Structure 1
Amino acid sequence: MAAVLAVAAIVAFIAHRARQPLIVAFIVVGVIVGPSLLGWVEEAGTLELLAEIGIAILLFLVGLKLDIRLVKSIGRVALVTGLGQVLFTSLVGFGLALLFGMPVVLAAYVAVALTFSSTIIIVKLLSDKRELDELHGRIALGFLIVQDIVVIVVMIALSSFGSERDGPLWEQIAAVLLAAVALIGGLAVAMRWVLPRLLRLVASSQELLIVCCIAWAVAVAALTDYLGFSVEVGAFLAGFALASTRFRESIASSLAGLRDFLLLFFFIELGAQLDFSSIGAQVPAALAFSAFVLIGNPLIVLAIMGVMGYPKRVSFLAGLAVAQISEFSLILVALGRDLGHVDNDTVGLVTLVGMITIGASTYMILYSKPLFAVLEPFLGIFERRRTINVSVPEPKAYDVIVFGHGRFGRRLIEEFATLGYSVLVVDWDPYAEISLDNPALADRVALVYGDASNGEFPDILPLGSAKWIVSTIPNVEVNKILATSLRRHGATAPVAVTAHSEAEAGAFSREIDEKVVNLVLEPFDDAADDAIAALRAL
């Protein structure tokens, strides 16, 4: 295992330098350490266990971060484009699979696998390019969420009806529906009366919160497995049950690293199972399916959005988001293999298509605007003469982000709000509430639960709109971690931290020199209005 991880680290470094998603790198690692080359992975029992846990955590986080409000805010374009692309890609992909002589069941699996695109990869690429909040980025994220919902429904149907069950068909359907109603009813009760109270009790400790959430996910997954659904479905529902709580972002950011590490083993397992003795025969089909995904899927989105009246530039940039298949495509065919519906050759074919499309589409998205400039003269057929007003509601933005809600923090928040600035407050106390001397200012201040020492938490904050970011937490190490992670996640606003002594203030000398921190506040010496004046002078 140590040698496998060492190879994974080396290949991942090379992929990172080549600006490739790590999914491709980890599949390559599987090929290297698998029977085809080094032969280090013969019995995959441990890999399978870690891979299953990784998939379960992935689906838990998908449920946790399922943002129906984004789909609603963008409107029908997300729903129509998402469902339309899934439908047309499935139909064309099914016909293409039949042309290659595949049986109906295998053709259906391959066709459905071609329809889903990777939300994780697209969000990362668009975030790096600062395009996630642009119109095409928000539309793309909207229809990717629709795709995620569709794939979950497909997986539920497969796990419910795909396995062998005793009795007539009507009895099987009735049993599944009864189990589903009982499960959904129980989750609704837990979401309404149990989980909010339970999470408030445990959220004062970040470690306890994460342990309890994992225990909840495992319990629901075990229950769904007992009821005849899959463990993965249970993990998704467990996450969805927590999605309406104020703690969801903190939970998601804490588990993201664990998800990425464990998914490594799923992709390594897939790569290790590639049979190079038969891969030559799969190359023509893989190239044809890859060409369809890379070219056909964006054209489908272009056509749908063009009919709806969107400009060709917006349609093209959004359409590139579907120019690859996703980790869910690989999970889906792996589930089909476990159910006995598809063979290893089909899993290998879809894996090969994934490597080609993910690798190629990454560069298409990275260089999307130069690519559009080249292709623009040929895209006029996808644009109506009169385009619609393409404005959509902007995501909530804040002028100031303040970490910590203690005495100094409250004074800063009040002063900022009095000056007319909108303020987002981040605090780790689950019982924290905004208390202002002037209640009329309350609509300018919002509060979220979060752990400043979690290096991944800033990823979910609206950093792009912030004019200032202030930490009032009197802890040098936490402030160093926070400031570094803010810069790593793209924060360009001045960052101020708090110190309670000159010695603590001096500990930030390196961060000051490197412009990671712009100002050190000393609340015992600085009044809130003086601190704000110093910030405004930056």
Structure 2
Amino acid sequence: MQQDIVFSFFLIFSGALVLATLALYTRQPVLIAYIALGALIGPFGFGLIEHPESVADMADIGILFLLFLLGLDMQPSALFAVVRKALPVALASSAVFFLAGFGLPVVFGFTLQDGIIIGLAMMFSSTIIGLKLLPTTVLHHKHMGELMIGLLLLQDMLAILVLILLGVMEGNGTMPVWQPFAALPLIAAACYLIVKGALLPLITRFDRFQEYLFILAIGWCLAVAEAAKLVGLTHEIGAFIAGVTLATSPIAQYIAISLKPLRDFFLVMFFFALGAQFNLQLLSDVALPAIVLAIVVLGLKPLAFRVLLGRFSERRELAWDVGFRLGQISEFSLLIAFVATESSLLSEQGALLIQATAILTFVVSSYIVVFNYPNPIAVSERLRRD
């Protein structure tokens, strides 16, 4: 049955209300309620929403706003310092996670090519999970928040490189491998000049008109996101650059507060779409390797970040905190699985293994953070930080 967008929104947000209420009463993370709702009423559940692709496309906007708001909380000088410090940790941890992700599938009978793609998908941590559970007002201006953002940005750049290499392996790569890395400083410099020369004077002149500032912020975020996509980066990196370059504005915090409800609206759809796209009927085919791989990811990632960050003079408590917050695989992993499957570089079972591992690690790592570390959706008053 074909539904219009209003009916789809009714199902998503009414269902989210019911399951989120149940989750809060039973002291569970609300993110799990949104994912469970997608699995229940999506095409592989009761089929009430047969085509979640349009919802997933809209949900991507929530990720852009999330990265934009994070950028608004970071000064450029602090960002450059933390990226330099995080670079060796990001490279070393990615190598460790690749080896683990490559070896286990091969042991379970997957081909070497599947093992390579799965290993690549295991290298990254979820920007959405990690930053959604990071308190905005408490940690973004602290060293831990800056360190996490630096690690995630470097992982995003590595993910872009992987996606480009997959295009080259398929034979359809039209973009040089070096282009995104050359484009990044150029687009950042251009955005800085535009903010200084045009946006800040406009903000100063029309700062009494709240609706205008709201539109300016959204327009700037989406414009830079689209520009980044055109030069070979991702929408998410573009949105983050838009936020960082606007962080020097005197009303950066006002813009951040204004956009939070809009961000949360789209993020509900993101987690719903994640659950809706998971094929429960084929789960038995990869259940055992997915469970084993998820256990390895959930145990190895916190330990690896603890050891690597400890070697660079980070406190043990901070290193464990960062490690558990980044103890899952990424939405980029799902994108890698999709691109590799479309290019016939990854089998259907391999793609399903990545999807199942993503869901399992998203769920379990969310539980770990929600019940043990400060976050905006903690069920404990002691840990709840907005």
Q: Same fold (TM over 0.5)?
A: yes
Q: Match for 2:261 among 257, 266, 275?
A: 257
Q: Residues 161 and 270 from structure 1, CA distance in 2 versus in 1: closer, same or farther, beyond 3 angstroms?
A: same
**Which residue of 1 is the match for residue 23 of structure 2?**
15
Structure of larger gyration radius: 1
Alignment of 1:201-212 (within 5 A): 201-212=205-216
Q: For residues 221 and 33 of structure 1, what CA distance do their matches in structure 2 show?
A: 31
| Aligned counterpart in structure 1 of residue 202 of structure 2, from 184, 198, 206 | 198
Query: Is the alpha carbon distance of 1:239 and 1:152 closer, same or farther for their aligned partners in structure 2, counting shifts above 3 Å?
Result: farther
Matched residues in 2 for 1:73 and 1:232: separation?
21
- Decide which moves more: 255-264 or 221-230: 221-230
Matched, 1:96 2:100: no
Match status 1:277 vs 2:285: no
Where structure 1 has 5 or more consecutive residues not aligned to the other structure, the ranges are 370-458, 460-487, 492-538
CA distance in 2, matches of 1:110, 1:168: 21
CA contact (8 A) 2:134 2:145 kept: no
The change in CA–CA distance for 1:60 and 1:308 in structure 2 (over 3 A counts) is closer
Contact 2:65 2:239 in 1 (8 A): yes
Report the AA paired with residue 297 of structure 2: V
Distance change in 2, residues 1:276/1:221 (3 Å): same
Q: Distance in 2 between the 1:44 and 1:84 partners?
A: 37
Instruction: Map 1:85-164 onto structure 2 (within 5 A).
Output: 85-102=93-110, 106-118=114-126, 121=129, 127=135, 132=139, 140-157=144-161, 163=167
TM-score relative to the length of structure 1: 0.56
| Aligned-partner Cα distance in 1 for 2:205–2:343 | 41
Return the offset for 1:150. Answer: 1.6
Gaps of 5+ in 2: 1-7, 377-382
Q: In the alignment, residue 216 of structure 2 is paired with which amino acid?
A: C
CA 1:186/1:115 → structure 2, altered by over 3 Å: closer, same or farther?
Answer: same
Distance in 1 (alpha carbons) for counterparts of 2:172 and 2:48: 46
Once the two structures are TM-superposed, the CA of residue 144 in structure 1 deviates from its matched residue by 1.6
Deviation for aligned residue 1:308 = 4.6
Listed as ranges, the matches of 1:396-407 within 5 Å are: none
Counterpart amino acid of residue 88 in structure 1:
V
Distance verdict in 2 for CA 1:214–1:101, change over 3 Å: farther
Return the alpha-carbon distance in structure 2 between the equivalents of residues 205 and 300 of structure 1: 49
Matched, 1:241 2:245: yes
Paired residues, number: 369
Letter in 1 for 2:30: L
The one-letter code of the counterpart of 2:21 is F
Structure 2 residue aligned with 1:414 = none
CA distance in 2, matches of 1:44, 1:316: 36
Instruction: Give RMSD over aligned pairs.
Output: 4.3
Q: How does 1:24-39 map to 2 (within 5 A)?
A: 24-39=32-47
SS in structure 1 of the partner of residue 50 of structure 2:
coil
Cα separation, partners in 2 of 1:267 and 1:331, compared to 1, 3 Å: farther
The alpha-carbon deviation at position 321 of structure 1 amounts to 2.7
The structure-2 alpha-carbon separation of the partners of 1:189 and 1:34, relative to structure 1 and needing over 3 Å to count, comes to same
Asked which structure has the greater RCO (Cα within 8 Å, sep 6+), the reply is: 2
1:42 corresponds in structure 2 to 50
1:30 partner amino acid? G
Closer/same/farther in 2, CA of residues 109 and 196 from structure 1, 3 Å limit: farther
Q: Which moved more, 1:282-291 or 1:192-201?
A: 192-201
Among 56, 66, 69, the residue aligned to 1:61:
69
Instruction: Report the CA distance between 1:291 and its aligned residue.
Output: 0.9
1:190 Cα offset (Å): 1.2
CA apart distance, 1:283 = 1.3
Q: Answer 1 or 2: which has greater strand percent.
A: 1
Contact 1:86–1:116, Cα closer than 8 Å, also in 2: yes
Contact 2:39 / 2:45 at 8 angstroms: preserved in 1? yes
